[in-house]
Structure 1
Amino acid sequence: MHFGLTDEQRLIVDTTRAFVENELYPHEAEVERTGTLRREVIEEVKAKAIAAGLYAANIPEEFGGTGLDTLTWLLYEKELGRANYALHWTCVARPSNILCAGTPEQRERYLMPCVRGETWDCLAMTEPGAGSDLRGMKATARQDGPDWVLNGTKHFISHADIAGFVIAFLASGEEDTPRGKKKRITAFFVDRDTPGLTIRDGYRNVSHRGYTNSVIEFDDVRLPSEQVLGEPHKGFEVANQWLGATRLQVGATCLGRAERAFGHAVEWAATRTQFGQPIGKNQGVSFKLADMATEMKAAELMILEAGWKFDQGTASDADMAMAKLKATEMLAMVADEAIQIYGGMGLMEELPLERIWRDARVERIWEGTSEIQRHIISRALLRPFGA
C-alpha cells in the first residue's frame, strides 16, 4: 500500500491549514467568549474561502463544487477541524451532498445557491422522542391530493437559524416486513418562508460555541409533490446513498483537533521545567505522549483507509463505524490527557485545550452514538453466523 500524499493532496492540505491559521484562528476568541458568530465575520471569511477555492469542496465539479474525492476531502476536513467548529462549518461551508440527489430543477433551486455561498441548507431528522431510532420518528407527511401535508417537531437541527431551506425527513406511512411493520420515510425540500414552518432557537450547548441548533415545527405545512427529494417513501435510501461519508467527516475533524491539542502538549512537556528538568522526561508525562501519538496514528489510518475504500466502492458500514468510533473516542482521550499534562493552565481560556476538551464530548453522540457504532460493528461480525 502507498501511504504518501500526491502533490495535489499536499497542496490542498497546506492551503487549508494556512487558511485555518490565518483566517479562522483570529476569530476564535470572540466566538468562544460571546457564543456568537457575527454575520460580518461570516461574510468576510466566506468571501476569502470562495476566493481560495476552499468553499463547497465536497460537491462534484459538475455541480459547481471543487469535486474532491473522499480521501482528499477527509484530509481537507482534518485541517478545518483544527479551528472552532462554527467558524469552519459556516464560513467554509460544505453543502450537504444529498442536494446532488435532486432533480435538475431542484439542484438549480437549492444546490447552486449553496455552492455560490448565497445560503445554507440544514438537515432535519432528529426528534425529541427519536434520536438514534429514526424509524421511531413521530413527525408525519401525508398525501392530500397532489400535495403533501407535514406535521410534527424536529430538534437539534444544526444552523437552521441561517439556512434558507430545510431538508426534512418525515414518516410517510408503514410497510410490512418479516419483523413487523416499519415506517416509511420521505424527504422534502421546505423553504424557510413556507406557511406553517416555524424555526425556533434551540438549546445552549457546552460543545461548539457559535454553532447553533434549532427546533423546527411543521404545522400543516403544505407542499407540492415537486418538493419531494428522491422518491416518495424512499427517504432512507436517498440518505444512505448520499450521506454515507458524514461519519468519516466527523472523524476527520476530530483528527485535526487532536493534532492541535497534542502539539500544545508536546511543546509544554519539552519546555515546562519541574524539579530541575523538563516534565517530558518523567515517565508519567512521556508515556502519556506515547499513548496519545499511538492512538492518533491508529485513528488517522482508520479514517483514511475508510475514505479510500469509499472511493473504491468497497467501504462497508462497519468500516465507517469503526473509523468514527475510534476517532471520536481518541479525541476525548487526547484532549483530556493534554489538559492533564498542562495541569491547571490547561483549563484556562488562554489556550484552546479547554475548548477542544468541551467540543470533544458531542462527537461521541452526533452522527450516531458510540453505542450505535458498536452495534453496527458487532452486527456485521455476527451476521455471517445468522446471529
Structure 2
Amino acid sequence: MRAGQTVTREVINARTMFNHSTNQIHYPSMRMSASAHIAEVDIGVRNVLEALNAERILLVSAAVHYWHWLTHHAPEPANGREVFGREIGYNQSVRFPIADAYMTIRATDLMCFKAAWIFDTVQPFGTEANLVEQLALEASCHQAANAARDTHGSHGFVDKYDIERIFRETRIFQVPRSTTK
C-alpha cells in the first residue's frame, strides 16, 4: 500500500454466525507485485470456485450434525404427550416425517463422505460438492427442522427446547452459498 491510504474495516454482526463475526476489509487503490500473487494470474474465478466447493463439503458435514440432533430430539414430546388415550408417537403422521428426515440425513452424510474422499484424493470434486449441497439444502434442512418443530408443536418455538435456535441456525446453510440461486 502507498503511504497516506486508509484501510477500512467493517464488522458485520449476524445472530446466526456460530459464535464468530464476519468482517469486510477495504483496500482502496491497492496494487500488488507479481511475486505477491498466490495463483496464476487471470484464473482467480476458478480458484475461488474450488475453495467454495471445499467449503460446501465442510458446511454440509457441520449441518449433518445439527440434523442428527434434531431427529434425535424430535420424538421426545411425541413419546410423552397423549391424545385419545395413547402417545402421539404411535401415529404414523408423526413418525414418518422424522423417519424421512433421518433417511435423507443419512444419504446426505454418505454423499458428503464421498465428496470429501474425492477432494482428499486430489481429484475434481465440484460435481459431488454441488450435489451434496443441493441434497442438504432441499431435503435435510427443511425436513429435520420442520419434523422436530412440528412434533414439538407450539413448544418448538420455546427457548427451553433449543428447537427454535437450531431451526434458525440451520437456515444459515441455505443463504450464502446456495447453488440454487
User: Aligning the two structures, in what range does the TM-score lie when normalised by the shorter sequence?
Assistant: 0.7 to 0.9
Following superposition of structure 1 onto structure 2, how do residues 196-235 of structure 1 map, counting pairs within 5 Å?
196-202=6-12, 204-208=13-17, 210-235=19-44
CA distance in 1, matches of 2:50, 2:14: 30
Residue of structure 1 aligned with 2:176, choices 345, 354, 366: 366
- Structure with the largest fraction of strand: 1
Post-superposition Cα deviations, 1:190-224, rounded to whole Å, max 9, x if no partner, equal xxxx953211122x535235332233322233555
Partner of 1:250: 59
What's the secondary structure of 2:79's corresponding residue? helix
**For 1:195 and 1:257, how far apart are their aligned partners in 2?**
44
Conservation of the 8 A alpha-carbon contact between 1:269 and 1:341:
yes
Q: CA deviation at 1:357?
A: 0.9
Indicate how the Cα distance of structure 1 residues 205 and 241 shifts in structure 2: closer, same or farther if over 3 A, else same: closer
Counterparts of 1:201 and 1:312 in 2: how far apart (Å)?
A: 37
List alignment gaps of at least 5 residues for structure 2.
Answer: none
Equivalent-residue separation in structure 2 for 1:319 and 1:199 (angstroms): 35
2-structure distance, mates of 1:196, 1:233: 27
- SS of equivalent to 1:340: helix
Q: How far apart are 1:301 and its partner, in Å?
A: 1.7
Contact 1:197 1:221 in 2 (8 A): no
Q: Residue 243 and residue 363 in structure 1: after superposition, are their counterparts in 2 closer, same or farther (change >3 A)?
A: closer
Q: Secondary structure at the match of 1:324?
A: helix
Question: What CA distance in whole angstroms lies between the structure 1 residues aligned with 2:67 and 2:16?
Answer: 15
Question: Does the 8 Å contact 1:328/1:360 carry over to 2?
Answer: no
**TM-score, with length taken from structure 1:** 0.42
- CA 1:242–1:283: 2 relative to 1, 3 Å: closer
Q: Secondary structure at 2:66's aligned position in 1?
A: helix
Q: Deviation above 6 Å: which 4+ runs of structure 1? A: none
> Compared with structure 1, are the counterparts of its residues 370 and 363 closer, same or farther at alpha carbon in structure 2 (3 Å cutoff)?
same
> Of Structure 1 and Structure 2, which has the larger fraction of its residues in helix?
2
CA deviation vs aligned residue, 1:166-208 (integer Å, no higher than 9, x gap):
xxxxxxxxxxxxxxxxxxxxxxxxxxxx953211122x53523
Which of 100, 105, 128 is equivalent to 1:296? 105
Find the aligned partners of 2:75 and 2:122 in 1 and give their Cα distance.
38
Offset from partner CA, 1:241-294 (integer Å, 9 cap, x none): 555421111111110000011111123322333332222101220111221112
- Identical-pair percentage: 23
RMSD across aligned positions (CA)? 2.6
SS in 2 for 1:215: strand
Query: Residues 351 and 195 (structure 1 numbering): CA distance in 2 closer, same or farther, change over 3 Å?
Result: farther
In structure 1, the partner of 2:116 is 307
**SS in structure 1 at match of 2:167:** helix
Partners of 1:209 and 1:297 lie apart in 2 by 23
Higher RCO, 1 vs 2 (CA within 8 Å, ≥6 residues apart): 2
Amino acid of the structure 2 residue aligned with 1:197: V
Q: Deviations for 1:83-116, whole angstroms, at most 9, x for unmatched residues? A: xxxxxxxxxxxxxxxxxxxxxxxxxxxxxxxxxx
- Contact 2:97–2:143 (8 Å) recurs in 1: no
Instruction: Measure the CA separation in 2 of the matches of 1:292 and 1:240.
Output: 29
Normalised TM-score (structure 2): 0.83
Report the 3-state secondary structure (helix = DSSP H, G, I; strand = E; otherwise coil) of the residue aligned with 1:248: helix
User: Unpaired runs of 5+ in structure 1?
Assistant: 1-147, 150-193, 373-387
Residue of structure 1 in register with 2:88 after alignment: 279
